[in-house]
Amino acid sequence: MSVRPLIIETARLRLVAATAEHVRLEIEDRARFAQALNCPVPEIWPPASAADALPWFLDRLTAEPWNVGWYAWYVIVHSGPLIGGAGFLGAPVNGVVETGFSLLPQYHGAGYAQEMINSLVLWAFSDPRVQSIAAETNDENVSSRRLLARVGFYKAGPGRDPGTSRYSLDRQRTAVNAPGPTQISKK
């Protein structure tokens, strides 16, 4: 089954929702993966923190191709390289989705993380099933905690793992800070 790409365009970024084929290429063939995304893929890709999850994403997207967008997204600088990944742990369950994100270290501090998270928050809330977006981060990860606060998330309690906290962003409390998506398309 062929799935048309889902793409979010922002002022500086192109976010491409992963399909099973993207993830398969990411695991097996770096050159074809770069061609599929139409961008350079850094030698240090995938980050160690994401590599272990690739088989899980492949299984999910193979089993649920209609849920493209509710799993991984590739974050690409316009006319530039792949710089990070973000996404969700699946389609909404009881009105909630959980998000996660990561940027390669050399792209920290340039506002890319906020731009990608704002875009995915707006995309998720465009689905009426989503009432709340959750995120978990290590308590020592000050940058992630600050980013979540800037986007509007509030600390909702302890995370699943020791030393982590859970954050939430509710639809009725959303005041997503620009820049967000300028265009969402299926190409």
The predicted-structure confidence for 119-139, as pLDDT tens digits, reads as follows 999 999 999 999 999 999 999
Q: Which long-range contacts (CB under 8 A, 24 or more apart) does 88-93 make?
A: 88/120, 88/124, 90/60, 91/64, 91/67, 91/129, 92/127, 92/129, 92/130, 92/131
pLDDT at 117: 95
Q: In Å, what is the CA distance from 117 to each residue of 65, 134, 135, 162?
A: 23, 12, 11, 25
Where residue 51 falls among pLDDT bands split at 50, 70, 90? confident
Q: What's the predicted TM-score (pTM) here? A: 0.90
pLDDT at 1: 47
Range in 2-6, 43-47, 92-96 with the lowest mean pLDDT: 2-6
Share of the chain above pLDDT 70, in %: 90
Tell me what the pLDDT averaged over the chain comes to. 90
The predicted-structure confidence for 149-186, as pLDDT tens digits, reads as follows 999 999 999 999 999 999 999 998 765 543 444 455 55
Q: What is the CATH number of domain 6-186?
A: 3.40.630.30
The predicted-structure confidence for 63-80, as pLDDT tens digits, reads as follows 999 999 999 999 999 989
pLDDT at 73: 97
**Domain residue limits, the chain:** 6-186
HEC assignment per residue over the chain:
CCCCCEEEECCCEEEEECCHHHHHHHHHCHHHHHHHHCCCCCCCCCCHHHHCCHHHHHHHHHHCHHHCCCCEEEEEECCCCEEEEEEECCCCECCEEEEEEEECHHHCCCCHHHHHHHHHHHHHHCCCCCCEEEEEEECCCHHHHHHHHHHCCEEEEECCCCCEEEEEEEHHHCCCCCCCCCEEEEC
58: pLDDT strictly greater than 80: yes
